[in-house]
Amino acid sequence: MKPKHQRLILALVALAGVAGAGVLGASALRDEAAYFRTPAEVKAGKAEVGEPMRLGGMVAAGSIARQADGVTIRFVATDGKASVPVQFTGIVPDLFAENSGMVADGRMRADGVFVADRILAKHDERYMPPQMGEMPKNMKLVPGE
């Protein structure tokens, strides 16, 4: 076989390998993809029952209710325009509280309740851990700034 034909066959095999890897990667991402929705979008019907998605918003004041089993909580997520009831079974993050931001991964049920598999609590950039409470707020943490 001529060297020209060997290079052509090698290039075709490499191209097929890259295409195969791309197809496998795309199929893996399709299973893990989740749209980010706000409570207003959910109420507008943009979220289908059983569709994996992320729900983001604020935890409504006075809405956190712990169930008798000790690990299930129910609360209301709001964006100021609409509200969605959320149910989560598990341990919530330390920063999870009323009037704070949160993002929940999960799915909508037919009864309109969002069932969360995971909850992430959000905080602003001014957050200071309680252990650093004695430190001045305007202190530079990176030398040379």
Q: Fill in the amino acid letter for 27.
A: S
Assess whether 12 and 58 both reside in one domain.
no
Assess whether 72 and 108 both reside in one domain.
yes
- Taking the C-alpha atoms of residue 54 and residue 36, their distance in angstroms, rounded to an integer, is 5
Assess whether 40 and 102 both reside in one domain.
yes
73 within a domain of the structure (yes/no): yes
The answer to whether residue 32 scores a pLDDT higher than 70 is no
Count structural domains, the chain: 2
Assess whether 51 and 105 both reside in one domain.
yes
Return the pLDDT at 95.
Answer: 83
Assess whether 45 and 62 both reside in one domain.
yes
Three-state DSSP class for residue 68: coil
131 within a domain of the structure (yes/no): no
Which of 109-118, 125-134, 136-145 is predicted with the least confidence, judged by mean pLDDT? Answer: 136-145
139 within a domain of the structure (yes/no): no
Assess whether 22 and 70 both reside in one domain.
no
Assess whether 45 and 6 both reside in one domain.
no
136 within a domain of the structure (yes/no): no
Return the pLDDT at 145.
Answer: 47
Q: Taking a C-beta distance cutoff of 8 angstroms, is the pair 62, 78 a contact?
A: no
144 within a domain of the structure (yes/no): no
39 within a domain of the structure (yes/no): yes
The answer to whether residue 135 scores a pLDDT higher than 50 is no
137 within a domain of the structure (yes/no): no
- Taking the C-alpha atoms of residue 130 and residue 110, their distance in angstroms, rounded to an integer, is 41
23 within a domain of the structure (yes/no): yes
**Closest by CA position to 104, among listed 70, 74, 67:** 74
Return the pLDDT at 141.
Answer: 44
Assess whether 20 and 41 both reside in one domain.
no
Specify the pairing of strand 35-37 against strand 101-108.
unpaired
Which of 38-47, 65-74, 93-102, 118-127 is predicted with the least confidence, judged by mean pLDDT? Answer: 118-127
Assess whether 16 and 70 both reside in one domain.
no
The answer to whether residue 112 scores a pLDDT higher than 80 is yes
Domain limits for position 45: 35-121
**pLDDT per residue as tens digits for the range 51-62:** 888 998 899 999
Assess whether 52 and 95 both reside in one domain.
yes
The answer to whether residue 124 scores a pLDDT higher than 70 is no
Assess whether 62 and 112 both reside in one domain.
yes
